[in-house]
Structures are given as structure tokens and as C-alpha cells.
Amino acid sequence: MTEGDAHMTSSARDVACRHLLDAARAHPSIFPRAISSEPLDPRDRRLAEAIVNETMARWLTISTLADKALRTPWPRLEPLVQAALLSGGAQLLFLDRVPDHAVVGETVEWVKRSGGRRGTAGLVNAVLRRIIELRGDPIEHADGKARDQLLRSNGGGWQLTEAVFDEDPLQRMAQQTGHSPILLERWQQAMGRDEAFRIALHGLCTPPVVLHGAGRDDSLLPHDAPGFSVLASDALLDEVLARHPDAIVQDATTARAVPVADGLSPKVILDLCAGHGTKSLQLARRHPDCRVIVSDTDDRRLQDLQDLSERVENIEVMDASAARGLRGEVDLLVLDVPCSNTGVLPRRREARIRFNEGLLRDLVDLQHQIAADAIATLATNAHILYITCSLETQENEAMPRWLTKWHGHEVVHEASSLPGGLPGDPPSSYRDGGYVALLRT
């Protein structure tokens, strides 16, 4: 390792540890947040992001191994210690970038620089070295069934030197995949253990970049879904998009929601929770003679939507309050509502940590409120396209039933999709999970 490499990894670890310190203080209520905006070398930023991403996916896995070396139970550790062990554990178990001694040494130094109490640096040093002892040897295949095997996103894993994980299969799978046990219990009750565990394993996948509408390109591989492609691991997305300006980066499952409304002829579409505008662009292209109004409550997303509207003639941006004032004008109301993200956990890794029944109830209440506030915008004989990236019945099938009961709408079409692809599978098999329903007023 050169002097430059050592500086790079040290800077990356500092940024990652500070980010994880904030997350440890907020745990389990962790929400998406960008890595520090301070200037970083591109390689430095990629390493910092890799550390954070692996930690978010495997928080429970790392803390389970750390507990084997701790006298104080993990939940009682101060956030500084948790952050250091999470960062170091993620590198030792899931990244292959830097030698073990460098991971341990730099993590301990960060604890010292961060004002850890007396003995804290020694504790972190001892626990990380114990994790190295437990790690054992790499294995080509692991399925989460053994107490002494640790899963990796490539389908392989580590043959641990001791049986670390829980004897109960559900608790063991939760520890192995980083999911809240409450979430796995819900899935097991809804779809059976085998399918619940399959979806949990899917959560370990590294999601590929999927495009549709790109055509043939040496930098693209065919996806299992016709018309979709996967960006090659050594390709640059910006260059591919420059060659294929009509291509859209979008998962195959997500892309199937908007075509559900293809049989309609709306004059005005309101995409009320438009996010960054991917579905808005789909809508504008599929309904070129239609006025597509897009909105979002997030200022940064509104700016993205404004940029999109400058490129696409039939898209216009409104803030949320103005959009809700379109009384009786909207023929198609698109509600891609905030949800638990349980259908896209490889992309929203932190969502597996924060999930609980209380949060789910709050989200359902929010979804009801968004829909109720928007109903006044609907014209006569209008439609609602309701979309989530959730697997939870309360957010999916229950919502159209609620709209039918309280507002008299009729369900015309609905479809749910489970995630596809497992660790070690080719990226062409990867799919997000989600739900879509079309209702007629």
C-alpha cells in the first residue's frame, strides 16, 4: 500500500465513521442522508460510500459478531464505539480493499482523534481483532442456514471459527441479512418461511444499473426482461446515456407501473409525488399531447423536476400547494407515495433497520392523507394510478380498498411484484418489488 493509498483510506474512514456516528445516535430511525459534502478524491468517496452502504445492509450482522467479544451488550455501547466497530467490521467482513492491520489501526486512530473516553480505543482494537479471529476462511457458497457461516453479496461468505448466529432460523436469518426480525416475521406470516427468507437474501444483492429504451451497446448486457439492459460493471453511465439520450435508468418492475394507464387518454396528468421525475418522463413520452404536471414536497427534487421540465415540452412543475389547487382538472392522478421501501431494500439499505409496526402505521396514515388531499383535483370520470415500492399489504392492496370504501372509487387493475435475484445470481435476473393499482372514480 503506497503513502497515497494510506492517506486515501484514512480520509475515507474518517468520513464514513463520522457518518456512522450520526447514524448510531439516531438508530433505529435511520433515513437516507448523503455522505459528507466536504471535498473528497473520487476514490476516497467511493470507499467511504462502500463502508456506509455495507454497514447499513449488515448493521445487525456486524453487531452480532461484535457481541461475541463484548462484555457490555451492544445496545449499551456509546455511539462512538458503535460507529467505529461498524465501520471496521464492514471493512473486515465485506470489503477487500485494505489489509486487516490497516483497518484496525486507522479505526483505532479515529477513535483517539474523536475524543473517546479512556479505554475506548483499546476496546475497539480488541473487538476488531476478535472479529478477524471469528472470520475464518472464505467459502464459495453460503445460504444462511448454518450458524457458523456468514453471507456475502456475491453468494459466497466466510466459514466462521465459531457458531455465532442464533439457533432460531428466523432470528438467524435476520442477523445474517441485517433485517429487522419484525419485518421477517411479517413476511413469514404473509408468504411462508421459504419466500420470506428468499426475499431477505435478495436484500443482500448489489443492485445493478438497469436501463430501458437504450438499444444495442457494447456497454450494456441484456436483462431477463425484454427491452431492458444492464450496465456493464466497467462501463460509464454518462457515456451510455450520451449515446442513447432516450434511454431511462429504471428497474424493470418500476417501469411497468406507468404502462398500466396506457389505455387512457388524459388531457391533464398530475404526478403529485414525482421524486426525481423518472415516471414523469415516462408519462410525458407515453402521453405526448397531455399536460403533465409534476410536484414534490422536497426542494431538491423540485429542482430536478424543474430541470426535467426544461428538457421536456409537455412537463410543467408546480409546488405541492399549487398542485392540490387544481380542483376538478386532473384526468389521471399519479400517487407514487412515500412508503416503507421493503420492495427495494438493496437500494434503500437503511430501511431494513428502521422498520417497525409504528412506522408502518404512520406511513399508511400519510398515504391516506396524501390521497384524500388530492382527490379534489380529479375531473369527472378520472383515474388514479397508485404506486409503491413496498411489499406490505397495508400499503398496497389495502389502499385501493380504502379508496373504494370511503371515496367510491373502483379498482380497474392491480398487480404486485416480488423482488427477483439472489446473491451470486447474474445481474440480468435482478428486479425490485412493488405494487401498482389503477382506480376509476
What phi, psi does 205 have (nearest 5°)?
-65, 150
Evaluate whether 274 touches 308 at the Cβ level (below 8 Å).
no
Cβ within 8 Å of residue 330, ≥6 positions away? 268, 269, 270, 293, 377, 378, 379, 382
The whole-number pLDDT of residue 2 equals: 44
3-state secondary structure 265-330: CCCEEEECCCCCCHHHHHHHHHCCCCEEEECCCCHHHHHHHHHHHHHCCCEEECCHHHHHCCCCCE
The yes-or-no verdict on residue 6 having pLDDT over 50 is no
Number of compact structural domains in the chain: 2
Lowest pLDDT segment from 3-12, 247-256, 269-278, 372-381: 3-12
pLDDT in tens, 230-256: 999 999 999 999 999 999 999 999 999
> What's the gap between Cα 296 and its chain centre?
19
Supply the mean pLDDT for the chain.
Answer: 95
Strand 157-159 vs strand 228-231: parallel, antiparallel, or unpaired?
Answer: unpaired
> Do 264 and 410 share a domain, yes or no?
yes
Q: DSSP assignment, residue 431? A: B
The whole-number pLDDT of residue 9 equals: 52
Lowest pLDDT segment from 79-88, 109-118, 305-314: 109-118
Q: Which amino acid is at 70?
A: L
Last residue within a domain, chosen from 84, 115, 135: 135
The yes-or-no verdict on residue 17 having pLDDT over 90 is yes
User: What percentage of the chain has pLDDT greater than the value 90?
Assistant: 90
Does residue 178 lie in a domain region? no
The whole-number pLDDT of residue 170 equals: 97
Does residue 189 lie in a domain region? no
The yes-or-no verdict on residue 157 having pLDDT over 90 is yes
Summarize the confidence of residues 313-319 as an average pLDDT: 96
The whole-number pLDDT of residue 10 equals: 58
The yes-or-no verdict on residue 5 having pLDDT over 50 is no
Last residue within a domain, chosen from 83, 103, 135: 135
pLDDT band of residue 115 (cuts 50, 70, 90) is confident
Summarize the confidence of residues 391-411 as an average pLDDT: 97
User: What percentage of the chain has pLDDT greater than the value 70?
Assistant: 97
The yes-or-no verdict on residue 49 having pLDDT over 70 is yes
The whole-number pLDDT of residue 191 equals: 97
The yes-or-no verdict on residue 258 having pLDDT over 80 is yes
pLDDT band of residue 114 (cuts 50, 70, 90) is very high
pLDDT band of residue 425 (cuts 50, 70, 90) is very high
The yes-or-no verdict on residue 97 having pLDDT over 90 is no
How far the first Cα of the chain sits from its last, in Å, is 65
Does residue 415 lie in a domain region? yes
Whichever domain contains 316, its CATH number is 3.40.50.150
Last residue within a domain, chosen from 135, 160, 195: 135
Does residue 193 lie in a domain region? no
The whole-number pLDDT of residue 4 equals: 44
The whole-number pLDDT of residue 37 equals: 65
Range of the domain at 25: 1-135
Does residue 339 lie in a domain region? yes
Does residue 396 lie in a domain region? yes
Cell of 108: 483505532
Identify which of 336, 410, 328 has the alpha carbon closest to the alpha carbon of residue 376. 328
Which residues on neighbouring strands pair with residue 291, listed in sequence order? 268
Identify which of 281, 271, 208 has the alpha carbon closest to the alpha carbon of residue 240. 208
Does residue 52 lie in a domain region? yes
Whichever domain contains 59, its CATH number is 1.10.940.10
